[in-house]
Structure 1
């Protein structure tokens, strides 16, 4: 990587990526320059599937993480709390078809 491409992604940055990323971000995650990424795509040798959307390349984040040897995303306490809050809202709703009598 040269100085213009930026430093490789950290784990925290990788886990915060959207569902798909642009080629520049994928190249940064793989610690290769953008020119090498384009060359690998032309050769059909990019380490994960590449989607062509209009005039841009998009790389699904799940495949990118897998190509980096990251199979699972970490669970954060904030995610657990949000899930528990979401589930608690449904605990107060009676099952479908159940009548509530005062």
Structure 2
């Protein structure tokens, strides 16, 4: 993979808060931390500065979403197309 191509998940490097991940996975956000502690949360979770977070590749995997390679040129061409026709 060249420097001009990245996995889709790499375009979103920031970890996601547990509550947001729970909503995306159609779980009760108020019970999410309990599921993590019980080892029953459906994706890998880690603690950052005392708060539970999940990284995009793990959330995508739990949701069954593929993580394709996205080339910068293709992304820019798509944005230009959308600007012209949107």
TM-score for both structures, normalised by structure 1: 0.53
List alignment gaps of at least 5 residues for structure 1.
1-14, 83-102
Q: How does 1:58-73 map to 2 (within 5 A)?
A: 58-73=53-68
Task: Name the structure where helix makes up a greater proportion of residues.
Answer: 2
Separation in 1 of the partners of 2:12 and 2:76?
A: 19
Structural RMSD (CA): 2.8
Q: Which has the higher contact order (CA 8 A, sep 6+)?
A: 2
How far does the alpha carbon of each residue in 1:2-33 deviate from its partner, in whole angstroms, 9 at most, with x for none?
A: xxxxxxxxxxxxx8x83220111101110112
Relative to structure 1, the CA distance from residue 53 to residue 65 in structure 2 (aligned partners, 3 Å threshold; closer, same or farther) is same
Bigger radius of gyration? 1
How many residues are treated as equivalent by the alignment? 67
In the TM superposition, structure 1's runs of 4+ consecutive aligned residues that sit over 6 Å from their partners are none
Asked if structure 1 preserves the Cα contact closer than 8 Å seen for 2:60 and 2:66, the reply is yes
Q: 5+ residue gaps in structure 2?
A: 1-8, 79-86
